[in-house]
Amino acid sequence: MNPPSASPMLYVSYWNFFRQYYTPLLQEMDIILKGIDNEEPISVAETARALVMKEKTVEKIMVRESIQCIDQEGFLRIVMNGTSPLCRLLQREYLCGSPERYNSAHIAYIYGLQSEHVAEVFRANGYTEIRPQALQDVLDKIFIFIMQ
């Protein structure tokens, strides 16, 4: 789907948005998870920063979920109970089971996109399902507006 030709908003492909916003966060999260030592858990502040949440939100989740310290398990439990866009995206991906093949409904749900836009890209390209390797191609054809 092509962006509107004349609009006061800045339109970008979802892939570009994902790459600029989510990719650095996911990379940082990966580094944190690989570096967590159960003897030296990470701080509430570092967790909040990595998950783009307020420290008080992390603390509330820890109390509600009886998380004593933020080790790998605690970090993932915070992700699964977090409310930031990053946490929500990861929760939706988890609920879909990280499929080997995606249909348009999976992509719309996981990435929070309008289902008719994803379905339009699928129809225009003759897709019924795609493999994860083709996600970039689909997400690069879906445009969203962002505030500058």
What pLDDT is stored for residue 147 in this prediction?
Answer: 78
Torsion over CA: 111, 116, 117, 123 (sign)? positive
Alpha-carbon distances, residue 22 vs 50, 90, 129 (angstroms): 11, 11, 24
Q: What is the full per-residue pLDDT of the chain (148 aa) written as tens digits?
A: 555 555 567 889 999 999 999 999 999 999 999 988 767 889 999 999 999 999 999 999 999 999 999 999 999 999 999 999 999 999 999 999 878 999 999 999 999 999 999 999 999 999 999 999 999 999 999 999 987 6
Q: Which helix (H) or strand (E) holds 64?
A: helix 55-64
- C-alpha 60, offset from chain centre: 22
What pLDDT is stored for residue 13 in this prediction?
Answer: 97
Is the whole-model pTM more than 0.85? yes
